[in-house]
Amino acid sequence: MDMDSKEHYKLGKEFFLKNKYDIALHHLAAFEEHNKDYADVYNMLGVIYHLFGKIKEAIKAFERALKINPSYMEAATNLAVTYNDIGQYEKARNVLNKVKESSHSKTLKEVENRLIKAKLSNMHAQIGDLYIDINNYDAAIEEYHKALKLQPTFVDIKTKLAVTLREKGMIAQAIRELEEAKFINAEYIPARVNLGILYYLMRRLDDAIVEWQSVLKHDPNNGVAKMYLNAAAKEKQKTV
């Protein structure tokens, strides 16, 4: 997924949650044009189409979401509600019954697999931490990569990887990891603090300031963000 697609996805979800459906539709449709495998996107599109009275488009979107994820209860419920609205009650019941059967058979196995993957991922991260303690950064990076292969959305591990890459002088790679971490969870403070530091090292002062200001909105007492923000502000004043 390129950065433009990521931005459309992010903005589409944000405006959808704010009930600004016209704007959300613009971004979600732009994202969907090049990304056909996101069930949540089709579910949101279905809700918007339903609200706009485009029932055929809504049904098509919900059905696409369920084709991607047959156990997607929210999409199934939305599809059933849409069928009810147009008087197709039998179809509504069939949709809900089908997804309940699918969910029941898969849930326990899926939960078990997720727990095992999470445990293995954390084990690799812990080994990486041990390598950091003896300054073996290459081995630590390898372990963090193994952890993230199992759990790509663990932002704490992505942040550890980024910090280790920074210590190796691999600044561009470190920035990429932290930007991805921010995309996954914009409220994870350590990623935002360290991303600001990397921007600062690259003399991207405006970008660094944005990161630290965001941190202080969520954590007003964050000493590291305060310290670097003051330093960056002073440097900006010198250039004026």
The count of C-alpha atoms lying within 13 angstroms of the C-alpha of 106, restricted to the half-sphere facing its C-beta, is: 13
Three-state secondary-structure class, residue 74: helix
146 in a structural domain: yes
Whether 122 and 59 share a structural domain = no
104 in a structural domain: no
Q: What one-character DSSP code corresponds to residue 92?
A: H
C-beta separation of 175 from 201 below 8 A? no
Q: If you compute the radius of gyration of the chain from its CA atoms, what whole number of angstroms results?
A: 22
Q: Which domain holds residue 28?
A: 3-87
Q: Using CA atoms, how far apart are residues 46 and 54, in angstroms rounded to an integer?
A: 9
Which CATH number do you get for residue 122?
A: 1.25.40.10
Q: Using CA atoms, how far apart are residues 7 and 21, in angstroms rounded to an integer?
A: 17
C-beta separation of 82 from 58 below 8 A? yes
Alpha carbon distances (Å) from 116 to 44, 98, 99, 183: 31, 28, 25, 25
Q: Which residue in the block uniquely carries the two structure tokens 């790509």?
A: 152
Closest CA to 28 of 51, 45, 4, 6: 45
pLDDT tens sequence for the chain (240 residues): 454 788 999 999 999 988 889 999 999 999 999 888 899 999 999 999 998 989 999 999 999 998 898 878 888 888 888 888 888 888 888 887 776 666 555 554 665 577 688 888 999 999 999 999 999 999 999 999 999 999 999 999 999 999 999 999 999 999 999 999 999 888 899 999 999 999 988 889 999 999 999 999 988 988 888 998 888 888 877 765
96 in a structural domain: no
Whether 126 and 43 share a structural domain = no
100 in a structural domain: no
Whether 124 and 24 share a structural domain = no
pLDDT (0 to 100) of residue 158: 95
Whether 61 and 147 share a structural domain = no
**Structural domains in the chain (count):** 2
pLDDT (0 to 100) of residue 231: 87
Closest CA to 12 of 61, 48, 37: 48
The three-point CA angle 4-211-201 to 5° equals 95
Whether 13 and 83 share a structural domain = yes
pLDDT (0 to 100) of residue 71: 77
C-beta separation of 120 from 150 below 8 A? yes
pLDDT (0 to 100) of residue 1: 46
Whether the full predicted model's pTM is greater than 0.75, yes or no, is no
Relative orientation angle of helices 171-184 and 155-167, to the nearest 10 degrees: 170
Tell me the residue type at 147. Answer: A
183 in a structural domain: yes
